[in-house]
Amino acid sequence: MSGPAAPQAEDEEETGTEPAAGSRKPSELELRRLAAELAPMVDVWQRLLDQHLPDRAGRCQTCTKGGTGLPAAPWPCSIHGIADLARQWHDRSA
């Protein structure tokens, strides 16, 4: 059985920001490990899912461009994706 797809990280083009020096896109294995660690923390991933919702333009309302308050990340954002993986992991283990 294949698991849920890993969330896609935002590109520099999509957010208009430069990636941090030495930053890289996490691997699918790293995202799954993070989701597995987060899975028992039900209140945390539920709060993340509740907060990281799309606006009318299809951007995450919570992931804003620094200092502007303007939504920058396309939805689903990477945080929503990880929280959703944690929810799925939790549901499978229940």
Find how far residue 84's CA is from the centre of its chain. Answer: 8
Q: What residues make up the domain containing 87?
A: 27-93
What's the confidence (pLDDT) of residue 1?
A: 44
What's the confidence (pLDDT) of residue 22?
A: 61
Phi/psi for 56 (5° steps) reads -65, -25
Q: Is residue 80 part of a domain?
A: yes
Domain total in the chain: 1
What's the confidence (pLDDT) of residue 24?
A: 81
Grouping H, G, I as helix, E, B as strand and the rest as coil, residue 29 is helix
Query: Would you give per-residue pLDDT tens digits along the chain (94 residues)?
Result: 444 444 444 444 444 445 555 678 888 899 999 999 999 999 999 999 999 999 999 999 999 998 899 999 999 999 999 999 999 999 998 7
Q: Is residue 9 part of a domain?
A: no
Q: Is residue 51 part of a domain?
A: yes
